[in-house]
Chains A and B, each alone.
Chain A
């Protein structure tokens, strides 16, 4: 997935802004800085890593080494909607894998990927601590419990309805503006 010019620019600027709060080049601050970038951008692309390495006066590959090590950091932009399937023990025993398979089938992507249109990204998460509700799916920070393959379809469908409604409203708004 190639980054656009715009994305590269934003990545550099955002990293630069975050780094302004860190005057020191103390190595212990690298991970907090990367976490801030991840929070702001949703991912840590190569241009951001380059900016961080310049600040800490380290070879860029050292930052790359950190980012690729930890699960938290994404190298590619997340989808507009983030689907996370819990893969804790309780969820696994109650068919978490089946749910993950369902999402992969429906979205036509593998776990860890983002759909072509960047609408959805699919991830696995370790226990979210809702073992009583297993299997659990976290969709845009909202927790859905006791998920079944049919429920996956339902969640996708309700998302599509929301989207259509949104687009409809937008069009109406546009039409309204044009009429005026």
Chain B
């Protein structure tokens, strides 16, 4: 039904189904674009603001997770403007992330580390004030899953995973800087009836939800 289109990403000729989102086309062709919240085959959530790219003809960088591909599209994953946005966005996320890679279950399997490496960005932002609420308690109530809200980047993937594989006990609560992913009435996973299926840990891009060793 949909037709194949040809486009250029960073001088590389690729083809894709028309209307597919650029981010996935790039990733499938081994062109890395930083991202945290995107889930393939779902409506783009567009919250992490890290997957910016330049598309020729557009006056400002666009998020590649929301940009459908079209015939003869010319994309640059790097530019001064893109780098600046990704750098600032990344710094902001890191200013709100409990940084402890050494003891983190997500170590070496972490999107944040991957982004830092790919874009040569420091994990510790220099000028920003740490915003992590260190008082948020770690939820260790389950046998298998453990949740450290101080590391959560609010990508929302675990909510979708829990709705589809578990019993839908997770969602966002509050707003603004207080926004968290939690259970009904902020009770422990155990009290909320968690099935311990581990689907949330599987999709977590950082070490916030993990499977115990």
Contact = CB atoms under 8 A, between A and B. Distances in A.
Contact flag (A, B; Cβ within 8 A): yes
Interface of A: 46, 49-50, 59-65, 68-69
B173 A65 contact: yes
Contact of B171 (A46, A50, A65): A65
22 contacts: A46-B184, A49-B185, A59-B171, A59-B184, A60-B184, A61-B171, A61-B173, A61-B182, A61-B192, A62-B168, A64-B171, A64-B173, A64-B182, A64-B184, A64-B185, A65-B171, A65-B173, A68-B173, A68-B174, A68-B175, A69-B173, A69-B174
B6 interface: no
A51 to B, nearest CB: 13
A59 B194 CA distance: 12
B154 to A, nearest CB: 13
Given A61-B170, A62-B168, A65-B172, 6 more contacts: A46-B184, A49-B184, A61-B169, A64-B171, A65-B171, A68-B173
Contacts of B183: 61
Contacts of A68: 173-175
A59 B175 contact: no
Interface of B: 163, 167-175, 182-185, 192
Contacts of B170: 61
B149 to A, nearest CB: 15
Contacts of B184: 46, 49-50, 59-61, 63-64
**For B172, B174, B184, which residue has the most chain A Cβ atoms within 10 angstroms?**
B184
Nearest to B163: A59
Nearest to A58: B168
Contacts of A61: 168-171, 173, 182-184, 192
Contacts of B173: 61, 64-65, 68-69
A46 B175 CA distance: 18
Nearest to B167: A59
A131 to B, nearest CB: 25
